[in-house]
């Protein structure tokens, strides 16, 4: 065996031991990979894209989406009283900002505090009657409201709830007088006058004002007198707030009048008040009116426009 042949045999043995395949010295052209098999479309129309749904079906989907949005909007409205923006502190700040444009921030703060004291009278009495009541929520240029499922179990309880607001509100207005005397600041005198006036206005014998609540235990027929008086005030002194009170008062008076005319035992039991209790409600009602009129007269300030501010 020649040295060259021995060398070749040695190399072949080494490849076998290392499992290295023997390379070919022949050149072959590269083989192109096979293209992937075409997947037949599920629908013959899908070769040109998915066909559009009918207009009616697409419209139904849009209507369903709008219905879902409306349902969410309704749920949001039901939750509005629980939102932070509508809490007592939040609406107080909004009302103060609104009233500041009319009277300045100092008077606006005092005015909103007087409204708060008045409404808290209703809240305290409602809870004493065993009725769950919300904290006051303020509405700029409309005052404040308290949410409750009912106003008590009978007309006497309703009268107590109605009169509690003016009672505590009058005390709050009167508290401004010693502050005015100590400081010599007419701002507190003006706040006292405004508080007396607001509580006196609320004693008008008309629903849904506090005086109308008191009349439920005394003489419900006075609702018609209060309604006529408010209508006259709306004609003589046109004002959006008076018009709203007149509208809501007429609706509530009509509703209650129909209930009383129905003659149901439940309605009769609601308005059945003992003479002694009727007399007590009348004494508080008339006494409040006298006190508030005297308070307004004592705190009335005549402003001269020539005075320097």
Q: Residue 111: inside a domain, yes or no?
A: yes
Q: Residue 222: inside a domain, yes or no?
A: yes
Query: Given a cut of 60, is residue 233 above it in pLDDT?
Result: yes
Looking at per-residue pLDDT, the higher value among 55 and 280 belongs to 280
With a CB cutoff of 8 Å and minimum separation 6, the contacts of 282 are 218
Q: Which of 27-41, 151-165, 242-256 has the lowest mean pLDDT?
A: 27-41
Tens of pLDDT, residue by residue over 32-82, are 445 555 544 444 444 444 455 554 444 445 445 444 544 444 454 455 455
Which element (helix H / strand E) includes 122?
helix 105-128
Contact between 150 and 131 under an 8 Å Cβ cutoff? The reply is: yes
Average pLDDT over residues 115-125: 94
Q: Which residues on neighbouring strands pair with residue 138, listed in sequence order?
A: 144
Q: Residue 190: inside a domain, yes or no?
A: yes
Q: Which of 125-134, 143-152, 217-226 has the lowest mean pLDDT?
A: 143-152
pLDDT at 10: 59
Q: Report if pTM > 0.95.
A: no
- The domain total for the chain is 1
Q: Residue 32: inside a domain, yes or no?
A: no
Q: Residue 28: inside a domain, yes or no?
A: no
Looking at per-residue pLDDT, the higher value among 155 and 52 belongs to 155
Contact between 185 and 193 under an 8 Å Cβ cutoff? The reply is: no
Q: Residue 68: inside a domain, yes or no?
A: no
Nearest to 200 by CA among 107, 109, 110, 290: 290
Domain containing 184 equals 83-299
Q: Residue 47: inside a domain, yes or no?
A: no
Average pLDDT, the chain: 78
Contact between 151 and 133 under an 8 Å Cβ cutoff? The reply is: no
Query: Given a cut of 90, is residue 107 above it in pLDDT?
Result: yes
Q: Residue 229: inside a domain, yes or no?
A: yes
């Amino acid at each position: 065996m020649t040295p060259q042949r021995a060398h070749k045999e040695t190399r072949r043995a080494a490849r076998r031991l290392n499992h290295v395949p023997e390379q070919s010295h022949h050149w072959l052209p590269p083989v192109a990979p096979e293209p992937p098999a075409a997947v037949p479309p599920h629908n013959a129309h899908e070769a040109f894209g998915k066909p559009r749904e009918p207009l009616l079906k697409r419209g139904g989907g849009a209507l369903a989406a709008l219905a879902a949005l409306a349902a969410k909007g309704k749920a949001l409205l039901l939750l509005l009283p629980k939102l932070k923006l509508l809490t007592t502190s939040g609406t107080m700040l909004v009302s103060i900002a609104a009233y500041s444009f009319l009277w300045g921030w100092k008077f606006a703060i005092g005015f909103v505090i007087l409204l708060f004291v008045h409404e808290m009278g209703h809240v305290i009495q409602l809870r004493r009657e065993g009725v769950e009541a919300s904290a006051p929520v303020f509405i700029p240029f409309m005052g404040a409201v308290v949410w409750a499922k009912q106003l008590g179990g009978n007309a006497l309880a309703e009268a107590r709830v109605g009169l509690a607001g003016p009672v505590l509100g009058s005390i709050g207005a009167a508290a401004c007088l010693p502050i005015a005397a100590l400081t010599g600041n007419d701002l507190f005198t003006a706040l006292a006058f405004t508080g007396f006036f607001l509580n006196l206005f609320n004693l008008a014998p008309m629903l849904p004002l506090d005086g109308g609540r008191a009349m439920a235990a005394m003489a419900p027929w006075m609702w018609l007198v209060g309604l006529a008086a408010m209508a006259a005030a709306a004609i003589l002194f046109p004002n959006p707030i008076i018009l709203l009170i007149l509208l809501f008062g007429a609706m509530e008076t009509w509703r209650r009048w129909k209930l009383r005319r129905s003659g149901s035992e439940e309605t009769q039991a609601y308005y059945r008040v003992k003479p002694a209790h009727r007399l007590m409600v009348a004494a508080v009602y008339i006494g409040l009116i006298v006190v508030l009129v005297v308070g307004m007269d004592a705190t009335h300030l005549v402003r001269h426009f020539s005075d320097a501010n």
